[in-house]
Structure 1
Amino acid sequence: MLQITGEAEGLAVLWCERRQDGGRELVAALGAGQGARPFIRWLIDFARANRASSIRTHCQRPGLIRLYQRQGFDIIGQDDSHYTILRWADGR
């Protein structure tokens, strides 16, 4: 359930893709805003509730990259636009 708490504001776009192994990967694109820390925790809960075994995001902002890493995301590369690609994988 998506809930607006007043702790975060900004733009977020979410979609789900099928990985080659058939699993679901939630893809998150965050725009400018604030309060990403509680949103990232919510994003992990949302992925689990919707049977997505991984989350991927592409990011340029060093501070946001660090927030993702603190929540268990790993840097897996860089895309053609020089964004850092991060992935969280559910270890259940």
Structure 2
Amino acid sequence: MMEEIDEIDLFLDSQVKTEKELMQEKCEKTYQAASSPIRRDMMRAVCFLGKRKEELLKETGLDEAALKFHAEILINADFLFQDETGVYRLTELGLQVLPKL
């Protein structure tokens, strides 16, 4: 069953966000990502060399669904990325934050 789109949905979708709103969103994503002990542990595990999914599952004790959930939050906050070989690596921002974890 498809959801019906009404005028309010169309109005909200058409709104362009201001620079301040975009910055606020980025700050919220960054805070959400960094505020979780699980995600901080993941970042420490990935560290400078990167980790494969299997390694992270073993080191963090998470199941695949939980790992994917937390990894996506870290990726959306620009702390983490997955390279072409499937290895999770820290971004420049992630590397800057790592010593403070």
Greater radius of gyration (CA): 2
Q: Fold-level match, TM-score > 0.5?
A: no
Which one has the bigger helix percentage? 2
Higher RCO (Cα < 8 Å, 6 or more apart):
2
Query: TM-score under structure 1 normalisation?
Result: 0.30
Query: TM-score under structure 2 normalisation?
Result: 0.29
Which one has the bigger strand percentage? 1
